[in-house]
Amino acid sequence: MVQSRVDSITAQLRAIKLLACSSYNDGWVASASKKDLVMLRHVIDRLIKQCPSFGDLEKEWEQEILINVLRNVDDS
């Protein structure tokens, strides 16, 4: 269930990114889309800071992310 939430949110974020990067959109739409992503990053960072620490488990999450980056798993 958790992964499906992540996948759903990731798909929505990718759709916004496509709007920001599409050469078919004017600057107004593209800049508004990028602004949405920047605002969402701020909201997510703030929400993460409000959550309790999970110590070693969080280190495992970071290692998982690093492994995916090194394997070139594309998140975009």
DSSP state string for 37-60: HHHHHHHHHHHHHHSPP-THHHHH
At residue 1 the predicted structure's pLDDT band, cuts being 50, 70 and 90, is low
Confidence of residue 68 (pLDDT cuts 50, 70, 90): confident
Per the domain annotation, does 18 fall within a domain? Answer: yes
The answer, yes or no, to whether residue 37 has pLDDT greater than 60, is yes
* 7 belongs to a structural domain: yes
Q: What does pLDDT average to over the chain?
A: 92
Domain assignment present for 76:
no
Which residues, 6 or more positions from 31, have their beta carbon under 8 angstroms from its beta carbon? 20
pLDDT score of 67:
93
Q: Which domain holds residue 61?
A: 2-70
Instruction: Output the six-digit token pair for 30.
Output: 């593209």
For residue 34, give Cα distances in angstroms to 1, 56, 66. 28, 34, 25
Domain count, the chain: 1
How high is the pLDDT of residue 50?
98
